[in-house]
Amino acid sequence: MRAELVCFNRECRARYAIDAVLYNCTACGGLLEAELAERTPDAAALKKTWRERRMCNVPLDQSGVWRYRELLPFDDGLERVVTLREGNTPLLDAPRAAEYGGLERLTFKHQGFNPTGSFKDNGMTCGVTQARRLGMKRVACVSTGNTSASMAAYASAAGLDPIIFIPHGNISYGKLAQALEYGARTLQVEANFDEILALVRQLAERLGIYLLNSINPFRIEGQKSIIIEMMDQLDWEPPDWIVLPGGNLGNTSAFGKALRELHAFGFIGRMPRLAVVQAEGAAPFWRLVHEGGEFTSVPKPETLATAIRIGDPVSWPKALHEVRASNGVVEKVSEQEIADAKAQIGRAGIGCEPASAATLAGIRKLRAAGVMERSARVVAVLTGNLLKDPDYIYKYHTGTLQSPDHGTIRPTFGNQPTVVRNDPDLIASLLEN
């Protein structure tokens, strides 16, 4: 077999078969990663093959994940792949957002264009394919919304039973609706994300259910394709910075791994720097990087950007490695900064969910601090779709959005709807002003 599971802990590096049902190293408890045994893919030939596949009607080639399968740990069982044609997400130039961030130019890679509306689909297609390879019947995850919608869709498409665990009262209706519609058995638990993840890990082992949170190394492998596709779209000319929000830090781990592999295999000539942005009320990774010492979790994480409302991110050791390997930085932003940045991304005609807007808020701060140059080439990854939190949006624009500590968030770029009588003269006079 071409790939193996390897302990991420540099002092351990224990190796396991690619079809072991494991999430942590049994020797040291470290995180696991998939490692491709074939060390020297032919970069020039693959770049050409991947381009040609874009024109092809074969489902595997149409997927923006499986098109790049040579860098994924599946050499057998491609017939078990479940794809909803994930990936294929656009790079969008946004001059107004660039101006707001203090940059000459800014490009968004919008993962909200995925089948279930977030970047989770890139990872889930691989995670669910692995569940099939292992002969698993049931899959589970804890989620603040996007993971559950994605897992429900892919598991049901694959004929598996999805079970999702969500924090009661802290998930958007849109996401809950997707999970229900895709047929997931849905448990709303009275605990926060971190507490439920500990619970689900225990239950998965006890009941023989395959766990599909981002601790699962196959999710991380799939999410590498976000970067591979981005570089392909940039004709293999890497930007100076890649900016992303950080919650459980799976994406940071995946992006860093993808960049290291692309660099080592000769697909790109240099490494872009990662900039990871957390919400102030849920910023344990920011604290680790800026204050040093041991990793400590945030027991009661708070932010309206529920996707990154995570106080005990499982992938922090990988993420720390990737931030260092890319000479990256970690920033944190306030609720007001996220809300205003989000409205700016909306006005650019693009739109995203609150967690994704942390990117632009972070760019603005990193520019103000002189960490990022005005002329830098920056790609920010918008992780989820605008329609995830319509409640948040309506409240922001009407000046009724409150931060978790009940402070009011100013509608700096508010856009109030106007209620009018059915009176053409009145409406005409309104519109003439």
Least spacing, CB of residue 319 vs ligand F0G, in Å: 8
Size of the site for ligand F0G (CB under 6 A): 23
Q: Which of 30, 162, 245, 351 binds ligand F0G (CB under 6 A)?
A: 245
Q: Does residue 403 touch ligand F0G according to CB under 6 A?
A: no
Query: For ligand F0G, which is the closer residue by CB, 265 or 380?
Result: 380
Cβ proximity of 322 and 251 under 8 Å: no
Nearest alpha carbon to residue 336 among 391, 281, 265: 281
Which residue number, 192 or 252, has a Cβ lying nearer to ligand F0G? Answer: 252
> In this chain, which of 308, 363, 372, 409 binds ligand F0G, going by CB under 6 A?
308
CA distance 253 to 249: 6
Question: Which pairing describes strands 3-7 and 138-142: parallel, antiparallel, or unpaired?
Answer: unpaired
Contact 274, 323 (CB under 8 A): yes
Binding-site string for ligand F0G from residue 177 to residue 216, where x marks contact by CB under 6 A and - marks none: -------------------------------------x--
Cα distances from 272 to residues 29, 76, 119, 377, 410, in angstroms, run 31, 32, 20, 10, 35
- Establish if 143 lies at the interface with ligand F0G (CB under 6 A): yes
In the bound complex, what is the minimum distance in angstroms from residue 121's beta carbon to ligand F0G? Answer: 11
Select the span of 95-103, 242-250, 402-410, 421-429 touching ligand F0G (CB under 6 A): 242-250
Q: Which distant-in-sequence residues (6+ apart) come within 8 Å of 189 by Cβ?
A: 165, 166, 167, 168, 195, 196, 199
Check residue 114 for interaction with ligand F0G (CB under 6 A): no
Stretch that binds ligand F0G, among 53-61, 144-152, 228-236, 422-430 (CB under 6 A): 144-152
Please name every residue paired with 395 in a beta bridge, in sequence order, or none if there are none.
none
The stretch among 1-9, 18-26, 140-148, 184-192 that binds ligand F0G (CB under 6 A) is: 140-148
End-to-end CA distance of the chain: 70
Which residues are CB-contacts of 66 (< 8 A; sequence separation ≥ 6)? 59, 60, 72, 78, 81, 83, 125
Binding residue for ligand F0G, selected from 89, 125, 383, 403, defined by CB under 6 A: 383
356 binds ligand F0G (CB under 6 A): yes
DSSP assignment of 44-79 equals HHHHHHHHHHTT--SHHHHSTTGGGGGGSS-SS-GG
Cβ 61 to ligand F0G shortest distance, Å:
27
Report if residue 221 touches ligand F0G, rule: CB under 6 A.
no
The answer to whether 278 contacts ligand F0G (rule: CB under 6 A) is no
**Is 411 an interacting residue with respect to ligand F0G (CB under 6 A)?**
no
Residues 326-355 that bind ligand F0G (CB under 6 A): 353, 355
| Antiparallel, parallel or unpaired: β 138-142 and 210-211 | parallel
User: With respect to ligand F0G, which residue has the nearer C-beta, 62 or 344?
Assistant: 344
Does the protein bind ligand F0G through residue 118 (CB under 6 A)?
A: yes
SS (H, E, C) 174-216: HHHHHHHHCCCEEEEECCCHHHHHHHHHHHHHHHCCEECCCCC
Helical packing angle, 390-397 and 335-347, nearest 10°? 90
* 63 vs 251 by CB, closer to ligand F0G: 251
Which spans of this chain sit near ligand F0G (rule: CB under 6 A)? 118, 120, 143-147, 214, 245-252, 307-308, 353, 355-356, 383-384
